[in-house]
Structures are given as structure tokens and as C-alpha cells.
Structure 1
Amino acid sequence: MHSKPTHMNSNESNLNKLRSLIYTSLDPLIQSDYSLLDIPDYKNIGDHLIWGGELAFLKRLPYNMSYSANWIYCQLKDIPTSNTILLQGGGNFGDIWRHHQEFRLKIISNFKQSKIVVFPQTVYYKDVEILKKDAAVFNQHPNLTVCARDAVTYEILKKYFHKNNIIMLPDMAFCLDLTEHIQTQPTNKVLLLERNDKELQQKLDIDNLLFKEDKQKQLEIRDWPRYNQSRLSEAIENTINSLDIKISKRLIKVPVINQLIDPRHGMKRRDARTNYISNGIKFINRYDTIYTTRLHGYILSVLLNKQVYMLDNSYGKNSGFYNTWMKDFEKSVFLGSVSKQQTDNLQGNSKLNTQPAV
């Protein structure tokens, strides 16, 4: 007999419902070997959690992965046309993280004979004309499914991508079962996971953010690991990565050397997904309570059964996701946006522990 894990997730029933929805919706769409494209090879742990969830989902199916690559090193000639083409989920569908969307457009334009599935994405465009141009390319594909990650995205896709099959599903990271990593030993520490990129809404008013019980604990304000390095370290890392991309793109055209270049990571052969996910778990488990502006800081906290409070990003991605899927979850609260421009003082308001702000 297999013994049950010592620590269970208080949201186990809700998590199983989300996983079941993903399985019943996507299983019928993948009836052949497949290629998984646009996978992450960068330091955002959230995108690696999505990738890990996708692999956990696919592992259940009786088909094989024929090819996998990131957007930089993908070679179209190596993608079998008989495969179902799967495109990474996330929050880069639109005109903010444009290189990912342009890669999707290239795949969709070049593989009209193949079935394509875009894993759950949040859609956001600042320019409606770019939205219309992208939709025109998508609408020309005869067998394309796009998964919306929230209700707002679903309505946008139904309106503009009207010739595609549109379904609404939660984030693929929920396919990860992290029960064995749940810990209950208190750390007496609180994390404010504050993103520092173009999705940051505005600087937070820390004094009015924390609840009364959390003000007695040690507060640490950080972004994901490896986003907290010095400017010099970041500049050196960016230079090395840029050189790796330039060199690998040239060498990948040479048949003999091509065998040395992993299309997932360029010249750097490593299991980055496992390392990033492991680091993310260790990072979140250093704290009792998490306040986060990152969606996957929130999702990972839920998977690890933490008390978590989520704030919105710059364009409503977090609120859209929460309102679509997470209202019934325990130990999970959406706070909206707590900035210096707001006058609402949240401290000591115990009602907010159970009632999400809308």
C-alpha cells in the first residue's frame, strides 16, 4: 500500500477540479505525436512552472514528443507536419511581449496543414489594429484551437479570432502536483513578491499593505530568484546570453555542429525546467505568507498551500485570472492594487481574509 503524503493541500478538491477540466478539454485535441514549441529558456520561474505543468499533462497521454524548441532556436524543417503542434501557454499573447506572438504567427502561417493548439494564454493588446492583424492570420488556419486563461481573454478571442476553436481553461501549472513539497513548519517570515518589469502596475504602499498579524513577522521584498541580482551581474548575464544566441544561431546552420546545439537551450545543455521549478519551490517555502504581484507567485503559493494575497499587474491579468477560477479557494485573497495613491487602509481588517476585493 502507498502511504498518503503527511501534508495535504487544503484546496485539493478545487485543484482536482481545475486539472479535470484541463484533461477533459485537451485530451481529445491531442490524438497523435506532438511538437511543443516556444518553451522557456530564461529566468522567469512562472513560465517554467507552465512548461512543467504542460509536460506533466502530456506525460499522461499515449503519444510521444517528436520535437521541442524555444522561439530562438526552433528550426521549422525539423517539425513533423503530421504532429499536433502545441504552443506554450502564459501571458505573452498580444503586443507587450511581441517576439513570442510573432513566433506564434510564423508557426501558424507555415503549418496550415497541421493541427495546432495554443495552451492557455492571457490576451492583452494596447493597439487594436495589431490585434486585428494577428487575428486575420489566426483565422486563416483551418485547424487551430486557442485556449483562453480567463473570461476577459475568452471574450476577446471569441470576438476577433472567430474562425478558430476557442475554449477557456486554467493555467497549465495546475497540472503540477506539489503535495510532497508542502511544509507546515513556521518560518516567521513574510514575502512581498514584487515584479520589476513592464507589467508592474506601480510601486506599492508597504505600510498599508500588510495585515496586522504579518507586521509582526520579518518582511522580505523580492522578485523571483535571479531577478534580484546586482545591475552589474545582470549586465554580465545578459551579455553572455546575447553572445550565446548569436553564436548558436550561426552554428546551428552547420550540419555537424547542429547536433551539439539543443533547440531548447542553444549551446547550453541542461534541464533548466527542473532547476527553475525546484528553486521556485524552495524560495516560496522560506515564507509563511506571500503577497505577490506575479501570477505564478500566487499559483505556486496555492500549490504549496500557503496563505497568499495577490495584487494586480499593469493590465488586469491577475484580477482576470482570479475572478475566473480562484474565488472558491481557501487561504487565497485578491487585494486588487495597494498603491500610494490609494487611501484605503487594509491593516487589521480581518474581513479581507475571506472576502476578495473586486
Structure 2
Amino acid sequence: MVTEPRLALIAELEAAIHACLKAHVREDEPVAILDFPDIRNCGDSAIWLGEMAYLANRHGKRPAYVSRMDDFSAEQLRRAAPDGPIFIHGGGNFGDIWGAHQDFRERVLELFPDRPVIQFPQSIHYQSPERIEQSARAIGRHRNFTLLVRDEESRAFAEKHFDCAVTLCPDMAFAIGPVESAPAIFPVLAMLRADREKAGNAEPAAWPGLPVEDWISESPRSVQASKAFGAASALLSLKPAELRLAKLDAAAHNRFRRGIRQISRGRAIVTDRLHVHICSLLIGRPHAVLDNSYGKVRRFMAAFSGGTDLSYRAASLDDGIAWAQQAAEGAAGKAAA
């Protein structure tokens, strides 16, 4: 039986995720997940939904406690999940670029010195030696912290600086599995970062008419409506933790669907966002990939996801756009045949 390469890759990476995590989830213990990404970035919602899909599909579990950074309560966590592992949401915020997340992570280690704490897969990047030392002290004091990382450079860094178990693991979004796309309306769509991880000042000025977007814009009304619907669906539950999970899960689904609809509009895509790359693989769209400011995308592709014809590691924005135009023409030809 012939399997489409991207489907084989998705299945392979989901199996690798399970190999990394299976020892940390026991059927008789509750699970907590902290740092829910209640933000506009669709990629973080893809990671969250992958975390939830992994627990549901591989273990038949829902977390007993979830929280954002700003509504976290150690007391509520202990009440809802008196034992068992504490997971921290994965992504690309381990280090000092997004310092609030690192501060929160180290606070959790301090508050729960006797509980296993597992960091879902992260990319690591520090700019300050002092901040590295602060993180190393927090991790060293805990003694039961497991750090999953998404690339070889992050693993080497963690093994050098941190006294904890370190494991290379794919991004959790692959646990979602293949996703159905919407119809394309543009030949090429550029999805380029507009935040502090943007690489350089490249602009597609030489390509008039090319739609250039990011996926961090959203309707607050739509998000609030999705949370209200999620809460309504859990009204039969009298547990505050279940109501909170239903609201947050609904918001993540809303954001993920928005992101999939957005990138589906391109027959081919150019991006410097890691999760536009990952979601393009999930929906089966050809895409040219540029790096972010510190090499996160390149590093992840080298470790896990650079082995299909759907993705092209572009040398520049112009190179990526030119490749995407050719890929779009090829896709249009196949569709017309």
C-alpha cells in the first residue's frame, strides 16, 4: 500500500510524541496543564489542541486542571489534581525573548518541588547569560523536571546548562493529525511575522498584488462567543475546572479553525512562522519556508519536518515567492487535469 509522504510523516511524528510522553502519563493519575495560550496566535492554539488530542487519543484523558498564566491558582491545582504530573504548554517561549512565560515556568517549579513537572516541547533561546543562570538554578532546585525540546540545538543547550532530563520531541501540533483544508482563492499567500521574532526587514515589494498577512488578528467578539458556547456545553458539570477547560478549549478550536481557513486561501504559501509550516503539512499545501529571528524554523525542520516535497527551505523572500509561484501553477495544473 502506497502512503502519501506527508501522511506518513504526520503518523511518524505522532508516534514519536507518544514515545517521548508515554512514561509521564499514568491512567490512575490526574493531569494538569498550565499556561493555556489565550492569545491571538493560531499556532499556539494548534499546539494546545495537539496536547489535548494526545491525551485523549493515547490515554483517554482530559486534564483535571488547566489555567492561563493570569488565572493560575496553586491551591485550585492541588484541589483538582492532588497528585500526578504537571505539564506546561509547549511552544517557542523557553528563554528570555518572552520573559513572562519563563518567569511563570520557574514559579511553577518553585511552588511544586515534589511533583513531576513536564515541559511540553519547546524551542530554547536566551540572550542574557544572567537569565540562563537564573533558569538553571530554578531547574536545579526542582530535581524532577523533564524538558522536551523541538530541535537538536535546544537539546545541546539544555544538556549543557540545565540539570534535568532532556528529550528531543516533535511539536505537539502533529498529534492533531491530518486536517481538511478549505478551497484556495489566491495562487500564492505570504504569511509573514510582524512581531519580535520577525527575521530582517524583507518586504515583498517586488511582487505587486501578492497578499501579505499574519494570523494574529482576530475578532474579540468571536472568541468570546466561542468561550460562551464552550461553557454552555459543559453546564451539566458542576466542576469549575471542567467549565474552565470547556471555555478555553472552545477558544482554541475557534482560533485554529480561523488559521486553517486563512492559510487554505493560498494554493501555495510563503512563511516565516513555524506553525504555518506545520499546519501547511497538516492540510497538504506546498509552502516555502523562511527562518524566524533566531533559527527556530530551520532547526525544527532539520530535526523533524523537512523531508517532504511540500516544503522548500527558501534562501530569501524572493526565492520563496518564486518557488511558491511555480508550486501554485503545478497544483493548479493537477487540479485541472
Structure 2 length normalisation: TM-score? 0.81
Shift of 1:82: 0.6
Residue 282 (structure 2) pairs with residue 284 (structure 1) = no
What do residues 287-323 of structure 1 show as CA deviations (whole Å, max 9, x unaligned)? 1011011111111111110001111111111111111
Tell me what 1:66 maps to: 64
Query: Residues 216-273 of structure 1, C-alpha deviation per residue, up to 9 Å, x if partnerless?
Result: xx6210010516x9xxxxxxx7xxx9xxxxxxxxxxxxxxxx96996569xx878201
User: In the alignment, which residue of structure 1 is the partner of 2:75?
Assistant: 77
1:224 matched to 2:215? The reply is: yes
Which of residues 304, 307, 317 is equivalent to 1:338? 317
Q: Which residue of 2 aligns with 1:121?
A: 122
Distance (Å, rounded) in 2 between the aligned partners of 1:59 and 1:346: 37
Contact 1:312/1:337 (8 A) holds in 2: no
For 2:232, the equivalent position in structure 1 comes to none
Q: Which runs of 5+ in 2 are unaligned?
A: 225-238, 328-337
Alignment of 1:27-42 (within 5 A): 27-31=22-26, 32-42=29-39
Determine if contact 1:225/1:280 at 8 Å carries over to the other structure. Answer: no
SS in 1 for 2:317: coil
Alignment-derived partner of residue 55 in structure 1: 52
Distance change in 2, residues 1:29/1:349 (3 Å):
closer
DSSP 3-state at the match of 1:79: helix
- What is the rounded CA distance, in whole Å, between the counterparts of 1:64 and 1:348 in structure 2? 45
Corresponding residue number in structure 2 for 1:137: 138
Residues 308-319 of structure 1 aligned to structure 2 (within 5 Å): 308-319=287-298
Contact 1:177 1:303 in 2 (8 A): yes
* Distance across 2 between alignment mates of 1:9 and 1:187: 24
How far is 1:73 from its partner? 0.2
Alignment of 1:265-284 (within 5 A): 271-284=250-263
Residues of 1 paired with 2:12 and 2:241: CA distance? 42
Q: Which residue of structure 1 lines up, in the alignment, with residue 166 of structure 2? A: 166
Give structure 1 stretches of 5+ with no counterpart. 1-7, 230-236, 242-257, 340-344, 354-358
Instruction: Show the 5 A alignment for 1:246-325.
Output: 271-325=250-304
Q: Report the counterpart of residue 246 of structure 1 in structure 2.
A: none
Partner of 2:195: helix, strand, or coil? coil
- Please state how far the C-alpha of 1:337 moved relative to its aligned partner: 4.2
Match of 1:248 in 2: none
Cα shift readout 1:44-74 (whole Å, capped 9, x = no counterpart):
1110000000000010214442100011101
Q: What one-letter code is carried by the residue in structure 1 that aligns with 2:169? A: L
Counterparts of 1:349 and 1:307, CA distance in 2: 10
Structure 1 pair 330/43, CA: closer, same or farther in 2 (3 Å)? same
2:64 is paired with a residue whose SS is: strand
Q: 1:36 to 1:133 in 2, by over 3 A?
A: same
Tell me: CA distance 1:308–1:197, structure 2 relative to 1, closer, same or farther (3 Å): same
Q: Is 1:329 the counterpart of 2:308 in the alignment?
A: yes
User: By how many angstroms is 1:9 displaced?
Assistant: 5.6
Give the whole-Å Cα distance in 1 for the aligned partners of 2:74 and 2:260. 34
CA contact (8 A) 1:73 1:263 kept: no
String of CA shifts for 1:204-225, please: whole Å, max 9, x gaps. 24267x7xxxx9xx62100105
Report SS of the residue matched to 2:16.
Answer: helix
Higher helix share: 2
Q: Measured at CA, do residues 261 and 99 of structure 1 come closer, stay the same or move farther in structure 2, by a change above 3 Å?
A: farther
d(CA) in 1 for partners of 2:68, 2:204: 37
TM-score, reference length from structure 1 = 0.77
AA partner of residue 96 (structure 1): I
Percent of aligned pairs with the same amino acid: 28
From the superposition, tell whether residues 110 and 131 of structure 1 become closer, same or farther in structure 2 (CA, over 3 Å): same
RMSD: 2.8
CA distance in 1, matches of 2:253, 2:323: 39
CA contact (8 A) 1:9 1:303 kept: no
Query: Structure 2: which amino acid aligns with 1:114?
Result: R
Aligned to 2:235: none
- 1:269 and 1:50 map into 2 onto residues whose CA distance is 13
Q: Is the 8 A contact 2:118 2:147 kept in 1?
A: yes
Secondary structure, counterpart of 1:140 in structure 2: helix
Judged with a 3 Å threshold, the aligned counterparts in structure 2 of structure 1 residues 105 and 269 are, in CA distance, closer, same or farther, namely closer
| Corresponding residue SS for 2:147 | strand
State the match for 2:15 in structure 1: 20
Alignment of 1:11 with 2:6, yes or no, is: yes
Task: Describe the SS at the equivalent of 1:83.
Answer: coil
Pairwise CA distance, 1:331: 1.0
Inter-CA distance 51–262: structure 2 relative to 1 (3 Å threshold):
same
Residue type matched to 2:73 in 1?
Q
